[in-house]
Structure 1
Amino acid sequence: MNESPADSSEERAQRHWCFRLSSVVYPAAAAEASDAIGAVEFDPTDRLLATAGIARKIRLYSLAGLVSSESEPRVYGHATACQVCICAPAKLSSLRWRPGSDGRIIGSGDYDGVVTEYDVERSAAVLERDEHGGRRVWSVDYSARGELGASGSDDGTVQLWDPRCGGSGCAAAVMRADGPVCCVEFDPEGGPWVAAGSADSRAYVFDIRAAAAGPVAALGGHERAVTYARFAQGGSRLVTSGTDGTHRLWEWEQGRQVREFRGHANARSFVGMSVWRGAGLIGCGSESDEVFVYDLRWADPIWVQGFGRRTEARSDQNGFVGAVSWRQLAADGDSGALAAGGTDGTLQVFAARKKAHILTD
């Protein structure tokens, strides 16, 4: 079956994918903006889902309760669905599970410029780094095997460290951008690359073997701050997201932009962006309070879903989706899940399944 460039996003979604709401976790009825979710992360051992935000809490949920095969979505409140709640000393901007820790250690970045690792079984901090001069840490990540950590901050640096040293970790290197660093990500396939997005409207790729030499690629194309940079499958492609309302796909080693994606609304905020590498899908939030999914092959979205909760008391609220994360376990990219968190504190998990027997000429 051939596909025409004129096919609508709905037609493409129906042809290739089934998406459905699997579960919803609502905040308390009187929830305020302090419940806003800014980070969502699936545990690589496939047991837990973690969220964090300006409420200064890391909440842990059992995936068994959130991802189900039932036709109707499961509906919870935070009080009943949350298994563990870890209180943090500052507002949290980012989360990342540390590879090799068997789903026990999660790293966080906060508004006070501190990177903290928590042992989720003990609900205790096991590492703290304060190397960004008190400037807000927007993003944390780990290398594929967990031997290096990275943090990006308003101070314009990407800090690398070895978390295996304990305490504050062993400093490894400092890499610099020309503006505040909004996001960092190691090549998840183990290459020596670290991608970073900057408020200077560019994305950078660094080689950790020669960090002091500066970036090996500087990608200019966005008109405003680059809020996310995520590697696509193979490591040679990078997806970036900016407050110019676009995602962009790059062959970064050639400095070539492959495609621009438009449809979601993003002019001022971190709306969340994640790449499901096995399936070639982008998931993102939107200032229109919707969740969007793009296929890397097409510039327009293939699926859009309204989000959040509107009540009479909150009808004038301008909420948006501020965090998304794909479940990355399905190696063949045929089934997965997308978690999304909103500024009203609502968490939603969507199941994704690729339709069988897609025929092509």
Structure 2
Amino acid sequence: MKNLSTKFHRHSHHHTQESENHEKEAIEEEQEQQEEKARCEWDFSLTTIVSSGNNNISSTPAISDALGVIEFDQTNSIIATGGIARKIRIYNFKSLFAHENTSQNAHEITCLDHARACDYYICTPAKLSSIRWKPSSDGRVLGSGDYDGVVMEYCLERRIPIFERDEHGGRRVWSVDYSHWDPVLGASGSDDGTMQMWDTRCESGEGVATVQPGVGRSAVCCVEFNPFGGPIVAVGCADRRVYGYDIRMTGDPVFVLDGHRKTVTYIKFLDNVTLVSASIDGCLKLWDSDNSNVIRSYKGHVNSRSFIGLSVWRNGGLLGCGSENNKVFVYDRRWGEPIWVHESNPVGRDGCGGGFVSSVCWRQVEEDQCTLVAGGSDGDLQVFQGRRKS
């Protein structure tokens, strides 16, 4: 009788466990369906392509066309681009939408060439790796970092350089940025393993601090001040780490983010404490800087050797990046898989592979629709618009 009771108990327990497993699977399936539905809440489309004159599928792009950086100004109405061509090009955002708000052409792609779409350009003495709008200048001053290790500022009204700083010993400047907490402060990161901070009010760019964050003078590949006004600057290095410094006291980092397997190429603030980093280990990472923990990793794009761009759209919680297989990727901060991928010409104009998307930038406006601008190694600008599904 005891054996029969034990057998019944085991059978009952097995039946209960089986029911719990089915219930758990049903809950997980429902969660996956909800997540899949959420992932599909955006409709993206390519609206405009800006390319060099006479570009066609059979022509080979010049290496000098490659774009390295795209930046919207503070009003989100002006776009600046820079790269190998030794030119800063300035575009009026509205000029890139010749058919905007015309329903009969809503799905057509506008094709423009740089010469006609660009308002004007400024020639630079070297190839550009970084540009950044100066926050206190009302869109009149643009800073740049170049391959010769020089930081410059340009007055866009007069279209001339007004400031030059060369503190990196001729080593390439990868990144420049300006503080929003103290607008007179600028910073640059370089192959020389340092981040230099300076006072932009001084013609000579008087140095405020020199920071060597990485191990063994590892290259500083990205610099980002907290855009929400805090005193923190984040620095990404070739030693695979991100360092955060309080600009009032730069002796030791206030946080260190350690989790990438290779060089950190970009770092962006999503809010005061949440950051997103990109690395040539092929993934993006979302961080909580308060406890230096990884919240989430994002994989899908290809990145093992090049700078492919990283931009965050804070209003919608979307991340954008390029890829070495000539694709544009969009991630929702909530999930590790991409929610949308766009493939550019996959074989390149010379008939073989090798093209890649090298820069991206979100327009920081609105909540139910968004704009992402991407640039490639072929020199083309692509404008994508996204709308939240009703």
Same fold (TM over 0.5): yes
1:295-343 Cα distance to aligned partner (Å, 9 max, x none): 11101000100125756x511141000001111133xx33221111000
**Structure 1 residues 5 and 107: alpha-carbon distance in aligned structure 2, compared to 1, 3 A threshold:** farther
Residue 69 of structure 2: SS of its match in structure 1?
A: strand
Query: 2:46 matched to which residue of 1?
Result: 21
Find the partner of 2:373 among 335, 339, 360.
Answer: 339
Of 243, 247, 251, which aligns to 2:288?
Answer: 251
Name 1:61's counterpart in structure 2: 91
Contact 2:347 2:354 in 1 (8 A): no
Counterpart of 2:11?
none
1:208 and 2:247 matched: yes
Secondary structure of residue in 2 paired with 1:270: coil
> 1:64 is paired with a residue of what secondary structure?
helix
Equivalent position SS for 1:210: coil
- 1:96 CA displacement: 0.7
C-alpha separation in 1, matches of 2:91 and 2:34:
36
1:171 is aligned to 207
Q: Residue 337 and residue 226 in structure 1: after superposition, are their counterparts in 2 closer, same or farther (change >3 A)?
A: same
Q: Partners in 2 of 1:228 and 1:69 — Cα distance?
A: 35
1:7, CA displacement in angstroms? 4.9
Q: Against the structure 1 CA distance between its residues 216 and 81, is the aligned structure 2 distance closer, same or farther, given a 3 Å change threshold? A: same
The structure that is helix-richer by fraction is: 2
Q: Cα distance 1:114–1:8, how it changes in 2: closer, same or farther (>3 A)?
A: farther
1: CA distance, partners of 2:126 / 2:34: 44
Aligned match of 1:186: 225
Amino acid at match of 1:227: T
2:249 match: secondary structure: helix
1:4 is displaced (CA, Å) by 4.9
Q: Relative contact order, CA 8 A, sep 6+: which one is greater?
A: 1
Which amino acid counterpart does residue 385 of structure 2 have in structure 1?
A: A
Residue number among 132, 136, 139 corresponding to 1:100 in the alignment: 136
What's 1:359 paired with? none
Residue of structure 1 in register with 2:65 after alignment? 35
- Are the aligned partners of 1:227 and 1:242 in contact in 2 as well (CA < 8 Å)? yes
For the pair shown, the structure with the greater C-alpha radius of gyration is 2
Where does structure 2 lack aligned partners over 5 or more consecutive residues?
1-27
Aligned position for 1:263: 300
Deviation at 1:11, TM superposition (A): 5.0
Q: Are 2:123 and 1:87 aligned?
A: yes
- What is the match of residue 199 of structure 1? 238
Query: Aligned match of 1:241 in 278, 283, 287?
Result: 278
Question: How many residues are treated as equivalent by the alignment?
Answer: 348
Distance, in Å, in 2 between the alignment partners of 1:244 and 1:5 is 30
CA distance in 2, matches of 1:128, 1:267: 33
Pairing 1:338-357 to 2, within 5 Å after superposition: 338-356=372-390
Aligned-residue CA RMSD in angstroms?
1.9
How many angstroms does 1:21 deviate by?
1.5
- Three-state SS of the structure 2 residue aligned to 1:80 is helix
SS in 2 for 1:65: helix
Query: Is the CA contact (8 Å cut-off) linking 2:311 and 2:362 kept in structure 1?
Result: yes
Which position in structure 2 is the counterpart of 1:288?
A: 325
Please give the TM-score of this superposition, normalised by the length of structure 2. 0.85
Match of 1:144 among 164, 180, 189: 180
CA distance in 2, matches of 1:200, 1:244: 12
- What secondary structure does 1:164 align onto? coil
The residue type equivalent to 2:47 in the other structure is S
Is 1:316 paired with 2:340?
no
d(CA) in 2 for partners of 1:199, 1:257: 19
What's the counterpart of residue 150 of structure 2?
114
Task: Provide, for residues 223-277 of structure 1, a one-character-per-residue CA deviation record: whole Å limited to 9, x for no partner.
Answer: 00000011112x1111111000000001012011100100000000000001111
Give 1:350 shift.
1.0
